[in-house]
Structure 1
Amino acid sequence: MTMAAVPVKLRCTCGHDGAWLVMPGQSWICPACARTWVPDAASVHAVAEGARDLARLRRLVLGLAVGALTVAAVLVAIHPAWILGVPTLVGGVLLASRPTYRKRREQALASTRTSIPLTESRAV
């Protein structure tokens, strides 16, 4: 499987800032001083995996919300008196799932905030 590029902000030792899409094995050349920097491949993979986990979690939450709203709409269409119970049911499910969602979200966000060490490439 090919890995997507990870967007990061960089600062060279000369003080120049820049944004860059990081791929393992790819180097970044500072436009100000022409130094070449190479990212640590393991850190790039860890950040990319965290970004994928976060996107997967967002899609899961969106899918569950659409599914819950569909079920609620069907229940209300079948028996209109259930319109009073649907908000209670949905609220209970949200309160019950909140700690798990928050834990998974924080784990994914923490891995995307991992710093990626850069080493200066010496030209020969």
Structure 2
Amino acid sequence: MNVEVIGDREFIASVQEQDGVWVLMAGQSLYALPTEGGRALPVWSSAEKAEVFSEKLGQKGLSSMFVPMSNFLGTAWLGSPSLQIIDVLASPRYGQDSLTYTADELSARLKT
């Protein structure tokens, strides 16, 4: 079994268990990265992991926020045309490649 499959299982299980994800906010703005055709949203399975990432960025004013699964999978987040979330980065670590899902792939994985 490769590392990516193990990482996928651990991430999905953790997020389903806590029934939500952690994101970073800069005040009222969502921290997301520009990508072709929209934005890539980093999400974490714990506040601690999000905060470690934030500290390594060295960007002031970022804070972690919990998003319940029902909201995250709904039209306010992944389904929002205004947020333009194309990809979701699962528990990224600063300076390393992260497990990446399309918004549709992650929605399907979390609903099973």
> Which interval holds the TM-score relative to the shorter structure?
under 0.3
Question: What is the TM-score normalised by the length of structure 2?
Answer: 0.25
Structure with greater proportional strand content: 2
Q: Which has the larger Rg? A: 1
Question: What is the TM-score normalised by the length of structure 1?
Answer: 0.23
